[in-house]
Amino acid sequence: MRILGFETSCDETGIAVYDNEQGLLAHQLYSQVKLHADYGGVVPELASRDHVRKIIPLIQKTLAEAKTTAEDLDGIAYTRGPGLIGALLVGSCVARSLAFAWDLPTVGVHHMEGHLLAPMLEDEIPAFPFIALLVSGGHSMIVDVQGIGRYKVLGESIDDAAGEAFDKTAKLMGLDYPGGPLLAKLAEQGEPGHYKFPRPMTDRPGLDLSFSGLKTFAANTIRANADDPQTRANIAYAFQEAVVDTLLIKSKRALQQTGYKRVVIAGGVSANTMLRTRFDSELKKIGGAVFYPSLGLCTDNGAMIAYAGMQRLQAGQIETDNVRSLPRWPLEDLPPV
């Protein structure tokens, strides 16, 4: 089965072709970072318009790279939600229009299921069941994954997501948009032990996450200290360490609660070097294993949507004509495969 996948949930246009026998044949990704940089964040209307401009040329380029024509395809998958409604509608309309013209089935994919399954595109894949730690700019959640579509959310962010906290703290430090990766890079120059940031909600039961207070603590620390480069790097290090420690503590708690030994970490924050180093080391100590997507597939991309869509199309989960995009869509509402 060969699937064309579209990802247009926010500010990146991702297109991919995935074949269940040959693997990922091609993928293209266009980021709108420069478009939104002047505003310090994503402007939904501008995002939608840019998807309109970019999606058709990217589809053509991806199909050419994959040496694939419409006759070679068995279906089209697109991000149905969650995300920005205008951006979602661009992907939905184009996917369903092409499917109608080419007489192909379509399936709308849950954006976070795409991230959750992204490590399945790698050579070494996790066996079910496992704990999924999904950490991105818009979402942070810990999920009990017993199979595709068999999800139970054990904990999620009650305010800022981890990636959002990175970006907001970076902005407080005067870093450009998007600030999360720049803050992580600055933290590489930092020294441990200068500042002690809290590990939010780790002193109480449960697996919910909260990073808003940590961001406020960072803001107060930045205002109270000299603004020399090394101090800024030390603050960045302490902030990043607090986020990683919090995610690690909660993930280990989820493993104890479920008895599992495997953790999948996906979403944009999964590319963070400190996070990967810490999780690799700590999971090894308890006889566990951790799985990630490759760095190029950590952020939003069409490959994860094509793969997730293929799983559902193979199971016969083909959409009807009466489908709408969902800016909010609980992960637990998905049917099992």
Average pLDDT score over residue span 166-195: 94
Q: Containing H/E element for 214?
A: helix 212-224
Token digits for 86?
């205008």
Show the DSSP H helices in the chain as ranges. 33-37, 44-65, 85-102, 111-117, 162-172, 179-187, 212-224, 229-258, 273-285, 302-314
Average pLDDT, the chain: 96
- 293 within 8 A of 266, measured Cβ to Cβ: yes
CA distance 238 to 235: 5
Q: Containing H/E element for 333?
A: none
Token digits for 60?
């053509």
Q: Which residues are annotated as a binding site?
A: 111, 115, 134-138, 167, 180, 272, 300
Cα separation of the two ends of the chain: 16
With a cut of 70, say whether residue 226 has pLDDT above it: no
pLDDT score recorded for residue 14: 98
Q: Which residues are annotated as a binding site for Fe cation?
A: 111, 115, 300
With a cut of 80, say whether residue 239 has pLDDT above it: yes
pLDDT score recorded for residue 320: 87
Q: What is the CA radius of gyration of the chain?
A: 20
- Identity of residue 103: D
pLDDT score recorded for residue 322: 81
Model pTM? 0.96
Q: Which residues are annotated as a binding site for substrate?
A: 134-138, 167, 180, 272
Residues with Cβ within 8 Å of residue 220, at least 6 apart in sequence: none
- 306 within 8 A of 73, measured Cβ to Cβ: no
Token digits for 158?
């009650």
- Identity of residue 215: K
Average pLDDT score over residue span 138-142: 93
What's the burial of 205, exposed, middle or buried (CB within 10 Å: 0-12/13-18/19+)?
exposed
With a cut of 90, say whether residue 321 has pLDDT above it: no
Query: Hey, which bits of 236-300 come out as E strands?
Result: 262-266, 289-291
pLDDT digits (tens, 9 = 90+) for 214-223: 999 999 999 9
CA angle 67, 70, 72 (to 5 degrees): 60
Strand 289-291 with 140-147, pairing: unpaired
